[in-house]
Every structure is written in C-alpha cells, then in structure tokens.
Amino acid sequence: MSLTKERKDLVDSVFKSIYKKYDLMNDIISLGYHRIIKRNAIKKCQPGSLLDLAAGTGDLTIYFRKLFGDNNKITLADPNTEMLDYAKTRLEKKSIIKNVEFVTCYAEKLPFKDNFFDNIAIGFGFRNFTDRPKALMEIKRVLRQNGRLIFIDFSKPTNPLIRVLNDFYMNKIVPVLAKFITGNNSEYQYLAKSIKEHPSQSKIIKMMDETGFINCRYENKLNGIIAVHLGETKK
C-alpha cells in the first residue's frame, strides 16, 4: 500500500468513526472558539457561488447562507458520505435546502468544470488532504477569475510557551476528553498528530504562491493556534 493511499484510508476511517461527535469535539478542542473564527472568516467571501470543501457537518454553509441569502448556490463536498448525510440532515432541519447540493469527492480530484465557483472555503480540512499541492491546483482550476479561497485550520503558535502548552493540550488532554465523550481516543490521537505535522503558515503561503494564487496572506488567531489563510485568483 502506498503512503498516499494509506493516509487517505486512515483519514476516511477516522471521520467515519467520529462524524456524529465531530461538532461536540470541535467545541471542546477549541473551547467553542472555532465557531467565531468560522463565522468571521466567511465574511471574507464575496456574493456568488460557494464550494464548501471538506464540508464536514456544514458549519461554513450555514454561516454563508445567513450572510448572503439563498440565491447563491452552495455545493458541499466531502469524501465521507456519512459526514455529508449528517450535514444534509442538519441543513434540512434549518431549512437550508434551496440551491444546495452535496457531492462526494476528494479535494485532489474535484468533479467540477473549470472556472465554476466564486468562493471556496475549507473549515479545518486542509491538513487532512493527502496531496496539498495537487488539491490547491484543483481548487485554483475550479475557481473563477477574481475568485476567493478562504481556509481555516490549526496552525503553529508564534509564542514558544504557547506552542508547548498547546502541544500538551492536543496530545495529552484532548485524547482523554475524546475517550470520555466518544469512548475511543485513537481518532483524536490522529488529529493531534495531523496538527503537529501540518505545515507552518509561511510554508502554506509559499505553496499557494507557487500554485498561482495572488494576494496570499494569513491571519493568526489565538497566537497562531488557528490560522485563516486567504488567496485570490487573477482578475
């Protein structure tokens, strides 16, 4: 088995196992702050269509719909069918059904035409992509001219002390909380590992620059524990 396929299978297995507790654990990991960050990040989108990539349970879709109304088409894409089904049920309960579709796919191979979306947003999913440069190429391909990419993920704290405390929290405390809540902590051990191995803010900006995005930048939240990355396609 290749390392790429091994990682893909591992990520698939993790999210098949935790999707029902995903929102609760995100609240615990970030002390609820992830919701504020997502809500503010979506404000950086523009009116038009949205691809909610690695959509999870649909948080970004909910915030986008509240901000821009139901005339803008939203596509939720995720490789995990269980997660997408859960998101669909959640959105239906909130009456978010107009101009919304669900697509099962990987970021590295998006089944959409070139120049298709005005916005692409990713909420805590970028670090789980198997091939990030390839995913960025696909994202750029399906974005229209003057399109916007916004993604949020755990990142590298700038303060060394906060970095040490954050590593302790992610590696020691979160798995214990996960076992108490979900009955299994192995999945959250993976999440802690994925955060540790995730590229730094500057490395991601370089990756975006090399892909051809312009105006690439990031905003640190909580001293860089979380970062919001932004990029645009050429006009």
Quote the Cα angle for 14-186-204, to 5°: 60
First to last CA, the chain: 42
Instruction: Name the DSSP class of 172.
Output: I
Residue 144 has pLDDT above 80, yes or no: yes
Residue 127 has pLDDT above 80, yes or no: yes
Contact 218, 226 (CB under 8 A): no
- Which pLDDT belongs to residue 175? 77
Residue 28 has pLDDT above 80, yes or no: no
Which domains occur in the chain, in start order?
3-8+32-155+199-232 (3.40.50.150)
Structure confidence at residue 33 as a pLDDT band (50, 70, 90): confident
Q: What is the mean pLDDT of residues 84-102?
A: 94
- Which has more confidence, 220 or 176? 220
Nearest to 182 by CA among 26, 9, 78: 26
Residue 190 has pLDDT above 60, yes or no: yes
- Which pLDDT belongs to residue 7? 57
Residue 6 has pLDDT above 60, yes or no: no
Residue 1 has pLDDT above 50, yes or no: no
Residue 168 has pLDDT above 60, yes or no: yes
Residue 187 has pLDDT above 90, yes or no: no
Residue 94 has pLDDT above 50, yes or no: yes
Residue 110 has pLDDT above 80, yes or no: yes
| Token reading at 234 | 């050429």
- Which has more confidence, 189 or 211? 211
- Of 15-24, 116-125, 163-172, least confident by mean pLDDT is 15-24
- Which pLDDT belongs to residue 95? 95
Residue 100 has pLDDT above 80, yes or no: yes
- Which pLDDT belongs to residue 3? 41
Which stretches within 95-211 are classed as H helix?
132-142, 160-168, 174-182, 186-197, 201-211
Residue 203 has pLDDT above 50, yes or no: yes
- Which pLDDT belongs to residue 12? 55
DSSP H/E element including 18: helix 3-18
